[in-house]
Chains A and B, each alone.
Chain A
Amino acid sequence: MAAHAHESNVKRIWMVFGILSLITIVEVAFGIVKPDALHLSNFLGTSWLNWIFIILTLAKAYGITWTFMHMEGEKKWFRRAVVWTAVFLIVYLVTLLLIEGDYLHETLAPLVRW
């Protein structure tokens, strides 16, 4: 098996669980209250509130991948082969599709009568 010693990480696991739960609680609280100052604002195409949600989500994803999936313990270039590939392709895809979605709205929305 791997060279590193397998000491128990139980304490750390519970700590990460605490952090992930806390982030979820904060997200839900924001989602229920929806403060106008954040909800009705606009920054780079969406509200500040949505940016907060996205950043907190990425923080959660980092916690799950690094601690629970033990990515921190893998060899540097294995980690990069997985993370960089996925992140690059996803960012690329999402950017193009969201820009196209916005274009579709600009083109089609004037044709809809409300």
Chain B
Amino acid sequence: MEANVAVHSEKKETWNGGSVKPFGASYGKMMMWFFIVSDALTFSGFLAAYGLTRFKFIDSWPIADEVFTHVPFIHGNYPMYYVAFMTFILIFSSVTMVLAVDAGHQMKKKKVAWYMLATIIGGLIFVGSQAWEWNTFIKGSYGAVKTTEGKILQFVKDGHQIAIADFVHGAREDHRVQHTKENGLWFESEGTVATYSIDQIVKAYNADPSVQIRTEFINLETKKKTILSREAGATELAKTKLVVEGANLEVNEYGNTIFADFFFFITGFHGFHVFSGIVINIIIFFNVIVGTYERRGHYEMVEKVGLYWHFVDLVWVFVFTFFYLV
């Protein structure tokens, strides 16, 4: 029972458990592992809630391939490639991290510093990519309309989704002016006014027989969204109450609003972990450079921050699967 007995010590090492090492792990390392367990449970809570909601709306959930189709600097439809790249970056930064730990075991200060730097750069690329993903998601790519029943209607041509601007021509016709605090009621504000008015979209739909309407409803046989006939589409379109461009916490052109909510919440929470991981990595990086661990005689701190960094990678592996693949 030695592990349970407080060992009297006048030394400063008491705060980190002193010489007592249950399970042969140092106090710091063990606590890092226990923190990781609790953090893993938090993330599982989010992902499990996502799973519940997805099963609840199993017949209308957005199809990830149709939502995340963009690659920076390249136009066109490339599902998955960019997130795959992000996953690869994060795994690679995990490798440089573990190489830093490995070099630390051999007390090679220079090597540790370089590998830590590589890890930090990998993390920055990842967070930057995620910011880009968010930006693309918030701006949206096609635009849709929302009906009075709260359903999202998208537009397709030859079975492929098209943007509203692809079949509605010209500028907005009703000269609707964006309400601002300066030119109206100072206590009222308004979201961005859509590029086109509802009337304009309905008119353009009726004028172009090649445009069809796609609902959120998934055909469980083919696992594709339902495309309505011209007549049924016109009936649905007549119920439009809102033109949706992009996604936020209230509306979402890709389908269920709660899909966007979960996207922001889960990837945001993970992104925040990556961000704090980078900050901690930078602190440790400078400690390595000034020789703190050289003087301490071991590089265990690098190992501990490494555990956290790998955990962030581990979480991303699951987010990637459940948000983008499944």
Say yes or no: A82 contacts B33, CB within 8 Å. Answer: yes
- What residues on B are CB-neighbors of A28 within 8 Å? 80-81, 84
Known A64-B310, A90-B40, A93-B44; contact A31-B215, beta-carbon cutoff 8 A: no
Interface string of A1-29 (1 = CB under 8 A from B): 11100101110011001001100110110
Q: Which of A17, A53, A68 contacts B321 (CB 8 A)?
A: A53
Which residue of chain A has the shortest Cβ distance to B40 in the bound complex?
A86
Which residue of chain A has the shortest Cβ distance to B87 in the bound complex?
A24
- What residues on B are CB-neighbors of A72 within 8 Å? none
Say yes or no: B52 contacts A104, CB within 8 Å. Answer: yes
Interface size class of B (residues with CB under 8 A): 35 or more
Q: Which of B98, B318, B325 contacts A31 (CB 8 A)?
A: B325
Say yes or no: B326 contacts A54, CB within 8 Å. Answer: yes
Interface string of A92-114 (1 = CB under 8 A from B): 01100110111011001100011
A37 contacts chain B at the CB level, 8 A cutoff = no
Say yes or no: A75 contacts B23, CB within 8 Å. Answer: yes
B142 contacts chain A at the CB level, 8 A cutoff = no
What's the least CB distance linking A53 to chain B, in Å?
5
Say yes or no: A97 contacts B102, CB within 8 Å. Answer: no
Known A40-B223, A98-B55, A101-B54; contact A6-B88, beta-carbon cutoff 8 A: no
Instruction: Show the binding face of B for A, using Cβ within 8 Å.
Output: 23-25, 30, 33-34, 36-37, 40-41, 44-45, 47-49, 51-59, 65, 79-81, 84, 87-88, 91-92, 94-95, 97-99, 101-102, 105-106, 149, 215, 217, 221-223, 226, 298, 300, 303, 306-307, 310-311, 313-314, 317-318, 320-321, 324-326
Instruction: Show the binding face of A for B, using Cβ within 8 Å.
Output: 1-3, 6, 8-10, 13-14, 17, 20-21, 24-25, 27-28, 30-32, 34, 39-40, 46, 50, 53-54, 57, 60-61, 64-65, 67-70, 74-75, 77-78, 81-82, 85-86, 89-90, 93-94, 97-98, 100-102, 104-105, 108-109, 113-114
